[in-house]
Structure 1
Amino acid sequence: MTQADGAATAPPADEIVVSPKDVRRIAGAAFVGTALEWYDYFLFGTAAALVFNRLFFTELDPSAAVLASLATFGVGFAARPIGAFIFGVLGDRMGRRPTLVLTIVLIGIATGVIGLLPTYADIGLLAPALLVTLRLLQGLAVGGEWGGATTIAIEHAPVSQRARYAALVQVGSPVGTLMSSGAIALVLLFPPADFDAWAWRLPFLAAFPLLAIALWIRLKVEESPIFEDLVRLDQRAKVPALQVFTKAWGRLIVAVAAAFLGVGGFYVMNTFVVSYAANTLGVDRQVAVNATLIAAGAQIVVILLCGRLAERMGPGRVTFWGGILTAVAAAPLFWLIDTGSPLAITFAVTAGIALLTITYAVTGALLTELFPPELRYSGVSLGYNIAGALSGFLPFVATWLISLNEEPVSWPAVVILAIVSLITAAGGFFGERLRVRDKEIVQSA
């Protein structure tokens, strides 16, 4: 900042100066790491729906194998709150930057090693046991990754522009979907025998070179100026994750509710629909995978638009209306899917994911403003990942309920999606009224 005569002055005590170039670069680095994170995480979900049931749970009947595979997928969600607690403490005590480096290394290695696993035919029960272990490691890493990436991005940004930079981090999700679904779609072009024998491994092995790229980019990121301010003023919480539960539990409940649809609804419209279409309706699995690719493209547009919209309306209001719209659309979407028409399925998946993305686009902006800086990494991570733990088994629950009927019916998925949507609408309503204002970030020339 400068005076009119050009003499430099120190910024006011309630302002931190960051250049626009640094804000964009750090948000971009957060996006790249998050894209790799979701590539790794979504890849497992798609493989759980298409291949793990046949290669790692061979001794079970087909329906039980699908359920076991989806349960393994859900195990990663159960580990996420634990990872949020551990990495939240590290992020609020040690710093945002080193914690983010640690999480990206952990998830990249765990994903790559899945591509090296022997199957049930090779080592018996040890194969699914190792698969579950690696999924747990993925869950632990994701528990600390997204919250940290969002926190470091918004803590470099001016308060009035936080939603757009938080939205940029969210773009990592559809990009990760495009990468993972695209990788699966490519290897599905191999003959079925080759796909089962070795081709399914290639997308997982690709995590190793992708990790090297993401790590190189992330190591160039500077620490958050707001965290450095906390260190300078000795205002860091001793055990921040515990204080979230004891001093900010109401805000945590709102955060969980606000994040519920963006996480749980996505897995209903993505992982569950892929499994339901292929295994229950008998639709070619390539149709459902291609639908998720198109939906991911729509997600990117919705995220960028809603990030700007949240700067005008507030992220809580955007979350509220996104939840309401998705709840209303739940039944028509599954009616289209039940037709079995590839075109109808593609439209329903794209429309459904686009609608729930309205809330997902602003989840980062809303959650980061629910918690003060000294509790932020922990609060954001716990809120988002408790929502993930609660919703990670939704594909399993929907599949189990459907299996109880002799004829395929989609009403369990409709009810689940509608309830999750209304919970998130309530989270947006209350979240808008609880937002915390930080020190202003001022962009220098």
Structure 2
Amino acid sequence: MSDDSNDSTISGADAGKIARAALVGTALEWYDYYLFGLAAAIVFNRLFFTDLDPTAGLLAAFATFGVGFAARPLGAIIFGYIGDRYGRRPALLATIVMIGIATGLIGLLPEFGTIGLTAPILLTVLRLVQGLAVGGEWSGAVTMAIEHAPMKTRGRYAALVQVSSPIATLMSSGAFALVLLLPSEAFDAWGWRVPFLLAFPLLVIALWIRIKIEESPIYKDLLAHKGTTRTPVRGVFRHAPGRLVVATMAALLGVGGFYMVTIFFISYGTNTLDINRDVMVNATLVAALFQIVVTLLAGRLSERLGPGKVMVWGALFVGVVAFPFFWLIDTADPLMIVIAACLGIVTVTVAYAVTGALLTEMFPPQLRYSGVALSYNIAGAISGFLPLLATAILAANHNQAWGPALILVSIALIGAIGGIFGERLRVTDRHIVGS
């Protein structure tokens, strides 16, 4: 199939409809996933790991948070196989059901004081289910958006799916901001559970929307002309190992950087600097509004410059603001904290906005779901433990912020290298499907 035939069979209106449907489902997925990160920073360390001292409890909570990321590559293998072998659509339906149910059940879990060690064990199991589902969700959503879009406008529709991240941040942080208005006793007793329980009705809405999505036209064309690959994951490792490494490097900044400037940002402010948690959560809400605008602008810019080049610029921005980001937080001034959140999230967003467009165009259609899922979630598995690493470094160097700042600089450098080589490795469906 050529680029021209693709453009003639796919309209911008249809592409927008599919991308918006993908956005809604993915926003629910990220809402569910981000909730755990917020709760790990301000709830789970106290209610599920109560036999540990405060620092150890926080480390244990972040380790449980990281477990979900460790499960994501396995989810990528499972749903990458389904997505490349049997279709993008069934994989996306399965992932959204899994994470919606797992998140809702977290809201029903008894605490350590009620069932003892069983509480953190069950919490870890549900986090694993979340990780498995997310391992196949984002890659499928962005693949569907890209494969339904005309070649020349793929950047904007891939970025539209990325808008699910700030929307999910607004939803999850907003939900927690509201329940944090409750008295501390009520918040600990039942208030923190409400955002998790909301996953049940949100799942029904998102599933209803996602059921209406049609299968990817490029996948249909692949079935008609070449057939699917029996073992797509093996195909990625055998035929595209270099692409996998570069794509993982490119994805690391958007994923790891985001968790450093959101989840660790909140933890550092509340647990290390003893800043009111409302201030930290509300700062991420303000930054998320700017994130939406920057995501859409970066997506459009990628259509002119190429997603790899935009990612390099995003990496440079992150490297420049890494130390000022923490200096602003250290002031403990609410206005400076809001500025810090906006600086951190906006700069990371430049790279994150184009991650979908870059990764999907680095893999051929017959390996695309698996290639994108593996690279993104290997990066995610590494990223999930960055808050844990940053917390450990803080504990080792007497709460000096230079350690976490260096982590940000390091992943910015890795992301820049991924963007440079990723831009050179981009391919079109014309070059692959007919080969």
* TM-score class normalised by the smaller sequence: over 0.9
Question: Where in structure 2 are the equivalents of 1:135-174 lying within 5 Å?
Answer: 135-174=127-166
Q: By how many angstroms is 1:397 displaced?
A: 0.5
Q: 1:419 aligns with which of 410, 416, 424?
A: 410
Q: By how many angstroms is 1:234 displaced?
A: 3.4
Provide the residue aligned with 1:126 in structure 2. 118
1:226-250 C-alpha deviation (Å, 9 max, x unpaired): 0001111233111101111111010
Judging changes above 3 Å, is the alpha-carbon distance between structure 1 residues 227 and 62 closer, same or farther for their aligned structure 2 residues?
same
Question: Where in structure 2 are the equivalents of 1:139-218 lying within 5 Å?
Answer: 139-218=131-210
1:22-62 C-alpha deviation (Å, 9 max, x unpaired): 21111111000110011000010001000001110011011
Equivalent residue letter for 1:157: A
Q: Which runs of 5+ in 2 are unaligned?
A: none
Q: Is contact 1:16-1:439 (8 Å) kept?
A: no
Equivalent residue letter for 1:112: G
Question: Which stretch shows the higher mean deviation, 202-211 or 321-330?
Answer: 321-330
Equivalent residue letter for 2:197: L
Provide the residue aligned with 1:409 in structure 2. 400
Equivalent residue letter for 1:362: V
1:207-242 C-alpha deviation (Å, 9 max, x unpaired): 000000000000000000000011112331111011
Question: Where in structure 2 are the equivalents of 1:225-236 lying within 5 Å?
Answer: 225-236=217-228
Q: By how many angstroms is 1:120 displaced?
A: 0.2
Q: Secondary structure at the match of 2:425?
A: coil
CA RMSD of aligned residues (A): 1.2
1:112 paired with 2:90, answer no
Q: By how many angstroms is 1:14 displaced?
A: 6.7
Provide the residue aligned with 1:89 in structure 2. 81
Q: 2:419 aligns with which of 428, 432, 436?
A: 428
Q: 1:282 aligns with which of 274, 277, 286?
A: 274
Equivalent residue letter for 1:340: A
Structure 2 Cα separation of the partners of residues 205 and 144 of structure 1 = 23
Q: Is contact 1:15-1:439 (8 Å) kept?
A: no
Structure 2 Cα separation of the partners of residues 176 and 246 of structure 1 = 36
Structure 2 Cα separation of the partners of residues 25 and 312 of structure 1 = 23
TM-score, structure 1 as length reference: 0.95
Q: By how many angstroms is 1:328 displaced?
A: 1.6
Provide the residue aligned with 1:7 in structure 2. none
Provide the residue aligned with 1:301 in structure 2. 293
Equivalent residue letter for 1:412: G
Q: By how many angstroms is 1:314 displaced?
A: 0.4
Q: Is contact 1:237-1:375 (8 Å) kept?
A: yes
Structure 1 Cα separation of the partners of residues 198 and 404 of structure 2 = 33
Question: Where in structure 2 are the equivalents of 1:204-353 lying within 5 Å?
Answer: 204-353=196-345
Q: By how many angstroms is 1:16 displaced?
A: 5.4
Equivalent residue letter for 1:257: M
1:163-210 C-alpha deviation (Å, 9 max, x unpaired): 000000000000000000000000000000000000100000000000
Q: Secondary structure at the match of 2:95?
A: helix
1:99 paired with 2:91, answer yes
Q: 1:64 aligns with which of 49, 56, 61?
A: 56
Judging changes above 3 Å, is the alpha-carbon distance between structure 1 residues 19 and 405 closer, same or farther for their aligned structure 2 residues?
closer
Judging changes above 3 Å, is the alpha-carbon distance between structure 1 residues 201 and 13 closer, same or farther for their aligned structure 2 residues?
closer
Equivalent residue letter for 2:300: R
Q: Secondary structure at the match of 1:198?
A: helix
Q: By how many angstroms is 1:299 displaced?
A: 0.6
Question: Which stretch shows the higher mean deviation, 329-338 or 369-378?
Answer: 329-338
Equivalent residue letter for 1:432: E
TM-score, structure 2 as length reference: 0.97
Equivalent residue letter for 1:44: F
1:56-87 C-alpha deviation (Å, 9 max, x unpaired): 00110111001100111111000001000110
Q: Secondary structure at the match of 1:223?
A: coil
Structure 1 Cα separation of the partners of residues 162 and 55 of structure 2 = 34
Question: Which stretch shows the higher mean deviation, 414-423 or 337-346?
Answer: 337-346
1:69-112 C-alpha deviation (Å, 9 max, x unpaired): 01111110000010001100000011001110000000000000
How many correspondences in the alignment? 429
Query: Going by fraction, where is helix more abundant, 1 or 2?
Result: 2
Structure 2 Cα separation of the partners of residues 17 and 437 of structure 1 = 16
Provide the residue aligned with 1:396 in structure 2. 388
Structure 2 Cα separation of the partners of residues 342 and 242 of structure 1 = 50
Provide the residue aligned with 1:6 in structure 2. none
Greater Cα radius of gyration, structure 1 or 2? 1
Structure 1 Cα separation of the partners of residues 226 and 7 of structure 2 = 18
Structure 2 Cα separation of the partners of residues 199 and 341 of structure 1 = 27
Equivalent residue letter for 2:428: R
1:99-131 C-alpha deviation (Å, 9 max, x unpaired): 100000000000000000000001000000000
Q: 1:384 aligns with which of 348, 356, 376?
A: 376
Q: Is contact 2:302-2:354 (8 Å) kept?
A: yes
Q: By how many angstroms is 1:12 displaced?
A: 7.2
1:380-425 C-alpha deviation (Å, 9 max, x unpaired): 111111000011100000001111233x210111100000001000
Q: 1:73 aligns with which of 65, 72, 80?
A: 65
Structure 1 Cα separation of the partners of residues 324 and 200 of structure 2 = 41
